[in-house]
């Protein structure tokens, strides 16, 4: 084990995300779901991967009564070989090879995830107990992709229904994505939603909630965002994603991107007068899916301009409730502009670390919108 591995393991051993996963692996908690959000490149996958791996190692050490970190690492290496836990890992170690089945990356792996869960469902039906299953879903789910129809829509709808089995069976589910709107409502409602943001010399992964805060000016309460917990990842090269895992993830995401591009080009090939890059046309979607995709509104520059004007006019509102009313009044005849505004506001709040479930929850936020927007 090198110094970088020890530093990463020691850091993640104290994280709240690791402790939540560890409680499930030790049997102290039946289930936990982590939904990690943030802009691309902020380190969501690294945070999820190292949290899961550190929790898995601590769980093995707990079973062997090796509670100190030094004794724990010695025990792991004596049973699984040298451990590598940093950006410089060129190949998976013994822990990675044994538990690789639990990692799913990109839409290309969604089918494999559902196949694995089919086996789990069969076990539940036969009266067996599947145990504390662990699944890391890295950019696996996309509610937007089902508009392409065909296999993507079928797989998304299957995942939405299968998610209930995850909760019934118990275990650990870790999901990553750029925004909560990409996931089914059931997943967002039952998960610890963690938002990643840049700090001065670190990356902050924060869990925010909407809570009642007592005013210092009197015996009354008001609702406002409050930080429940925070994990601080040092902004150092050692804490990056291992090289071997990054190669696999990039390959699977590239496969998904090519498949989506081929479907789009196959659908509009005659209009563009071209062929897909590989000369093959994707399988045409069902007529219902094609009609749905063709009817999808295209965002116009007019809607973008109107959205900008409405936000500027309403951002001086004294409260989020009046801001919400202002926006709805000015866009009541323009659904496209309203959709643009809604997405812009939710993304802006997410970047500020404010976790709201949707547009209707905007009125519950306290404070001036101009502070956040």
pLDDT in tens, 129-180: 666 678 888 887 777 666 666 677 777 787 877 777 776 666 888 999 888 8
The whole domain housing 155 covers: 3-244
> In the structure encoding, which two tokens stand for residue 213, read together?
């805060």
Could you tell me if 81 and 201 lie in one domain?
yes
Could you tell me if 199 and 317 lie in one domain?
no
Q: Check: pTM over 0.85? Answer yes or no.
A: no
Give the integer Cα–Cα distance in Å for 64 and 78: 12
Q: What percent of the chain has pLDDT over 90?
A: 26
Residue 368 belongs to a domain: yes
Radius of gyration for the chain, computed over Cα atoms and rounded to the nearest angstrom: 23
End residue of a domain, out of 244, 275, 290: 244
Give the integer Cα–Cα distance in Å for 57 and 292: 47
Could you tell me if 62 and 159 lie in one domain?
yes
Residue 207 scores a pLDDT above 60: yes
Could you tell me if 237 and 307 lie in one domain?
no
Could you tell me if 87 and 211 lie in one domain?
yes
Could you tell me if 103 and 236 lie in one domain?
yes
Q: Which residue has the higher pLDDT, 222 or 26?
A: 26
Q: Residue 286: what pLDDT? A: 47
Could you tell me if 214 and 356 lie in one domain?
no
Could you tell me if 166 and 41 lie in one domain?
yes
Could you tell me if 25 and 160 lie in one domain?
yes
Could you tell me if 210 and 330 lie in one domain?
no
> In the structure encoding, which two tokens stand for residue 364, read together?
């519950």
Residue 51 belongs to a domain: yes
End residue of a domain, out of 210, 244, 278: 244
Phi-psi region of 131 (alpha: psi -120 to 50; beta: other; left: phi over 0): left
Q: 160: domain CATH number?
A: 3.40.50
Q: Residue 294: what pLDDT? A: 41
End residue of a domain, out of 244, 263, 282: 244
User: Which of 210, 109, 108, 125 lies closest to 165, judged by CA?
Assistant: 125
Give the integer Cα–Cα distance in Å for 320 and 286: 43
Count of structural domains, the chain: 2
The predicted-structure confidence for 230-250, as pLDDT tens digits, reads as follows 999 999 989 999 999 989 888
> In the structure encoding, which two tokens stand for residue 151, read together?
């296999």
Residue 106 belongs to a domain: yes
> In the structure encoding, which two tokens stand for residue 341, read together?
């505004």
């Amino acid at each position: 084990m090198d110094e970088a591995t020890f530093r990463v393991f020691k850091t993640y051993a104290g994280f709240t995300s690791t402790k939540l996963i560890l409680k499930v692996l030790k049997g102290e908690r039946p289930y936990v779901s982590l939904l990690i959000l943030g802009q691309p490149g902020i380190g969501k996958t690294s945070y999820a991967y190292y949290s899961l791996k550190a929790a898995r190692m601590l769980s093995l050490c707990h079973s062997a009564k090796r509670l100190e970190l030094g004794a724990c690492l010695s025990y792991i290496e004596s049973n699984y070989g040298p451990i590598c836990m940093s950006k410089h890992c060129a190949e998976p170690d013994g822990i990675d090879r044994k538990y690789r089945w639990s990692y799913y990356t990109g839409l290309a792996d969604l089918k494999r995830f559902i196949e694995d869960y089919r086996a789990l469902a069969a076990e539940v039906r036969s009266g067996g107990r599947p145990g504390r299953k662990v699944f890391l879903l890295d950019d696996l789910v996309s509610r937007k992709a089902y508009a392409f129809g065909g296999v993507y829509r079928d797989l998304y709808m299957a995942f939405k229904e299968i998610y209930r089995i995850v909760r019934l069976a118990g275990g650990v589910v870790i999901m990553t994505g750029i925004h909560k709107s990409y996931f089914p409502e059931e997943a967002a409602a039952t998960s610890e939603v963690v938002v990643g943001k840049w700090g001065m010399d670190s990356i902050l992964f924060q869990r925010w909630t909407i809570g009642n805060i007592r005013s210092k000016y009197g015996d009354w309460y008001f609702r406002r965002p409050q930080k429940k917990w925070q994990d601080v990842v040092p902004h150092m090269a050692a804490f990056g994603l291992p090289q071997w895992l990054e190669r696999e993830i990039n390959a699977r995401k590239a496969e998904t991107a090519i498949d989506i591009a081929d479907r789009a080009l196959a659908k509009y090939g005659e209009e563009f007068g071209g062929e897909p890059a590989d000369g093959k046309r994707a399988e045409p979607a069902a007529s219902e899916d094609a009609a749905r995709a063709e009817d999808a509104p295209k965002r116009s520059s007019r809607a973008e301009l109107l959205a900008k004007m409405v936000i500027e006019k309403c951002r001086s509102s004294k409260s989020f409730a009046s801001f919400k009313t202002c926006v709805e009044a000015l866009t009541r005849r323009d659904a496209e502009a309203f959709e643009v505004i809604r997405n812009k506001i939710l993304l802006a709040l997410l970047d500020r670390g404010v976790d709201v479930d949707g547009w209707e929850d905007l009125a519950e936020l306290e404070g001036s919108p101009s502070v956040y927007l």
